[in-house]
Copies of this chain bind each other. A is one copy, B any other.
């Protein structure tokens, strides 16, 4: 998406896109700079005309996308929606990112966010910004009484993000493309599971009858929303 907004004749962009594909296919450590140049259809040296090192290419790819994500999280947070809806928006954004740019997401998840000795360490502050913003959403939900307080906001953020990343990791390992409905189902399950795990008990609503157990997963959310209103 973001990456393909620019003209295809921009060589710098071509190199970045090629690097994304090559990193996704072979891994950062396993590929050579010449693989990137070949994939981009440019001369070897041009890669070094635009980037000072192989590392800088990955840094660029990561930062471009992560900044967009941080913005998406910010926007979700600033909205007037319920905590569950905010988290749903964030999960949706990440899942959509994978939907549209699975290779880029693979690179980020595989080469950056877990690379504790290399890129993950370099970008630690940026990465944690995301967790902290999510934790902020959780904290405010707790203050409002929508989320219970037994779980620390920090842990809530980790559980939420960790669940998403694990789902992404699963897709990444599967060689074939993920079906559309699986993408949507995943988003729903993430929100449904984690939010339910974080939310206070719904008001038992005496008349909520017996077997009506889980008619619609939205019940808790609605309850939460109504309470916070």
Contacts and interface: CB of A to CB of B under 8 A. Distances in A.
Contact of A166 (B148, B161, B193): B161
A148 B205 contact: no
B114 A110 contact: yes
A209 to B, nearest CB: 7
A163 interface: yes
A26 to B, nearest CB: 6
Interface residues of A, number: 65
A116 B151 CA distance: 32
A194 to B, nearest CB: 6
B27 A148 contact: no
A214 interface: yes
B173 A166 contact: no
Given A150-B228, A163-B162, A225-B150, A106 B116 contact: yes
A20 to B, nearest CB: 14
A152 B190 CA distance: 11
Given A162-B163, A186-B155, A117 B196 contact: no
Contact of A116 (B116, B173, B201): B173
A167 B228 CA distance: 29
A124 B170 CA distance: 10
Nearest to A200: B213
Interface of A: 25-27, 29-30, 106, 109-110, 113-118, 120-121, 124, 148-152, 155-156, 158-159, 161-167, 169-170, 172-173, 185-186, 189-190, 192-198, 200-202, 204-210, 213-214, 217, 224-225, 227-228
